[in-house]
Chain A
Amino acid sequence: MRRLLFKSLVQGPLTEAAPAADDAAVAQLAAQVTAEARKRLGRTLAIREVDAGSCNGCELEIHALSNVLYDLERFGLRFVASPRHADVLLVTGPVTANMRQALERTYAATPGPKWVVAVGDCARNGGIFAGSPACVGGVGKVLPVDLHIPGCPPDPTALLKGLLALLESSAGRSQA
């Protein structure tokens, strides 16, 4: 334990430095999200994740956003435990018939202004599960979707880019 702690003292942070030129997407987000989020919502955007039938692949990559390399919170984005504390619902999955009501209730419990981000290919239109009688077929069938982040699953950088796009597009919207 002492060795580990000592190492972290001399090693410096593991979080990836904001790169300058070619791989600048993550670094860009760091600057822009701070400016936008501050203007709209103070300094943070609180996210409530809802799995509405995903295969759990999207959840794994959403989890990865919080590891030390991506360190989501440095962008002012954080996950919260209750929809009542959330600004954004991050919804995955083709929306199964069995999750429809729970998703609607979660949305109803989220105070305005609120945004819905559909994550992954099946959240758009059911994806590979489209046509199944057990699935409603896409988050848009149940809730008004503000943004869709494609991918099966989207990787953490794609997720970060998408959340930034949401901030930009919501800039002109009046408070609900």
Chain B
Amino acid sequence: MDWPHTIVDREAWHQAAERLRSTEWSLLGLWGEPGVAHMAVMQAGQCALLSLACEENRFPSIGRLHAPAIRLERAMRDLYGLEAEGSPDARPWLRHESPYPFLPVEGESLHQIPVGPVHAGIIEPGHFRFTANGETIVRLEQRLGYVHKGIESLMAGASLEGAAKLACRVSGDSSVAFALAFAQAVESALGVEVPARAVWLRALAAELERLANHFGDIGAVCNDAAFALLHAHFGLLREHVLRAAGACFGHRLMMDGVIPGGLQRDLPADGERVLLELLALARKRFPELVEVYDDTASLKDRTVDAGILSPVLAQQFAAGGYVGRASGRKFDARRTPGYAPYDQLQFEIPVVQAGDVNARVWIRIQEVGQSLGILEQILRQLPSGPVCEPVARHAGEGLALVEGFRGDVLAWVRIGDDGRVERCHLRDPSWFQWPLLEAAIEGNIVADFPLCNKSFNCSYSGHDL
């Protein structure tokens, strides 16, 4: 990906905040390293990187003008001691050493419901503080960071192989997306030309990952609306995808398959047959299940008009994935800025305006259809040849934006002269989706929270790093 890297002064940094506030630019990421703040933005489909040297570890707050930056700035202070001057929220975020002051709530007949970090289901940990008036939620405040593993500190000094493995484990459900984003950033830093077959097989793995997650999550949303039948059927489809992924890439979640330079290994001899069978099965079963979803009034009764996210907020937060596309934001990193082989593939980017749970499910249903089409095209056009190119060891810096199932994953890496990672930042799409869940849930009843939450399905691990 071509992207200009500009070293800016405080004034230019401040102007960037103004451009973000006016939504002329979109915020792709904001992160730190000792003494330096970095910001990735997108303007008219073009990515750019801005860096500011922080005198006395201070920089002008972006969050003061542009709310989506607030949590990122809190994380920068926790991880690197960088202070965002004028930030509207100076509380710690990823560090949990001191007692946490929740926002004050005032009003008549309000009560609070604290939930988590350990939840009732098999879910990642996080804390939700509901303030309710009767059944109605008047405010949700999230507290995250429970699964903060210090991934950026482990990345610093890691070998490229070690860092690629870490990237796969930033958020296990998006293993391919993170590995791909990291690999593309490294390849851009070192000027590696990835063999054509690897480029196509990477897209194949990425679309399988999208399918598996969409199947699993559509079913899980139905389950949270007490419709277990579809959960069972979609769970079966997901399992078929995982088994095909295991047969083709040696790992059900396809971890460690995508590496800088290409792929760990080629498809096995029967790989294409396994995939064609999977596609035939999905083409047959999926429409029947969608019909049930669409024709079941009791299910629609729960999903329509629940958890509405306004297009204005989706735009402001540059919400990626189905969260953004269900609220009118037509953005997909496979098209903008775009990367191979998607420029040679036919697919649509579904978008609707409604912004409710039903819209998010519906976008994912449409995306399943598009992914099936993409997989069929890939299998028809799969080039032959090697799947890995040796990676030279020298210094460089790279940025990449990849579309995971949840939305756009940003990767930035700086490699030292010894060929090891100096610094790496991986930004999960959840950073810009979690705050929107707080907004979308307002005015809904407490009992609808699991349903709304699942329709967002933000990553805790990807966010907590």
Residue pair B150, A106 in contact (C-beta under 8 Å)? no
Residue pair A79, B122 in contact (C-beta under 8 Å)? yes
Q: Of the listed stretches A34-42, A131-139, A141-149, A162-170, name the one at the interface; the rest are far from the partner chain.
A: A131-139
Residue pair B150, A59 in contact (C-beta under 8 Å)? no
* Any A CB within 8 A of the CB of B171: yes
Binary flags per residue of B163-177, CB closer than 8 Å to A gives 1, else 0:
001100111110100
Residue on B with the closest CB to A97?
A: B96
Q: Which residues of B contact A66 (CB under 8 A)?
A: 235
Residue pair B154, A129 in contact (C-beta under 8 Å)? yes
CA distance A69 to B243 in the complex (A): 12
Residue on B with the closest CB to A57?
A: B172
Residue pair B145, A98 in contact (C-beta under 8 Å)? yes
* Any A CB within 8 A of the CB of B292: yes
Q: Which residues of A contact B124 (CB under 8 A)?
A: 51, 54, 56, 59
Q: Which residues of B contact A94 (CB under 8 A)?
A: 149
Residue pair B96, A56 in contact (C-beta under 8 Å)? no
* Any B CB within 8 A of the CB of A58: yes
Q: Which residues of A contact B149 (CB under 8 A)?
A: 53, 94, 96, 129, 132, 134-135
CA distance A135 to B146 in the complex (A): 11
Residue pair B146, A102 in contact (C-beta under 8 Å)? yes
Give the residues from 420 to 465 in chain B that come closer than 8 angstroms, CB to CB, to chain A: 459-461, 464
Interface size class of A (residues with CB under 8 A): 35 or more
Q: Which residues of A contact B266 (CB under 8 A)?
A: none
Q: Which residues of A contact B296 (CB under 8 A)?
A: 1
* Any A CB within 8 A of the CB of B252: yes
CA distance A67 to B212 in the complex (A): 13
Residue pair B173, A57 in contact (C-beta under 8 Å)? yes
* Any B CB within 8 A of the CB of A14: yes
Q: Which residues of B contact A3 (CB under 8 A)?
A: 288
Residue pair A135, B150 in contact (C-beta under 8 Å)? yes
Residue pair B252, A102 in contact (C-beta under 8 Å)? no
Residue pair A133, B150 in contact (C-beta under 8 Å)? yes
Interface size class of B (residues with CB under 8 A): 35 or more
CA distance A145 to B371 in the complex (A): 42
Q: Which residues of A contact B255 (CB under 8 A)?
A: 57, 152
Residue pair B165, A128 in contact (C-beta under 8 Å)? yes
Binary flags per residue of A62-100, CB closer than 8 Å to B gives 1, else 0:
111011110000000001011100000000011011110
Residue on A with the closest CB to B460?
A: A56
* Any B CB within 8 A of the CB of A123: no
Residue pair B169, A57 in contact (C-beta under 8 Å)? yes
* Any B CB within 8 A of the CB of A17: no
Distance (Å) between the CB of A97 and the closest chain B CB?
7
Given contacts A67-B238, A99-B117, A102-B118, contact A59 B123 (CB under 8 A): yes
Binary flags per residue of B237-264, CB closer than 8 Å to A gives 1, else 0:
0110010001000001101000000000
Given contacts A102-B125, A132-B150, contact A64 B169 (CB under 8 A): no
Q: Which residues of A contact B105 (CB under 8 A)?
A: none
Residue pair A60, B235 in contact (C-beta under 8 Å)? no
Distance (Å) between the CB of A66 and the closest chain B CB?
8
Which residues of B are at the interface with A, using a C-beta cutoff of 8 A?
A: 94, 96, 117-118, 120-125, 145-151, 153-154, 165-166, 169-173, 175, 216, 229, 232-233, 235-236, 238-239, 242, 246, 252-253, 255, 288-289, 291-292, 295-296, 459-461, 464
Extra inter-chain contacts (13) besides given A98-B96, A128-B165, A153-B172, CB under 8 Å? A4-B288, A53-B149, A54-B147, A57-B175, A68-B232, A68-B235, A93-B147, A97-B148, A128-B154, A129-B154, A129-B169, A132-B154, A135-B149
Which residues of A are at the interface with B, using a C-beta cutoff of 8 A?
A: 1, 3-4, 14, 49-64, 66-69, 79, 81-83, 93-94, 96-99, 102, 105-106, 128-129, 131-135, 152-153, 155
Q: Top 3 closest A-B pairs, CB basis?
A: A57-B172, A134-B150, A132-B150
Q: List 11 A-B contacts (CB under 8 A).
A: A53-B148, A55-B461, A57-B175, A61-B252, A62-B122, A98-B96, A99-B146, A102-B118, A128-B169, A129-B151, A153-B253
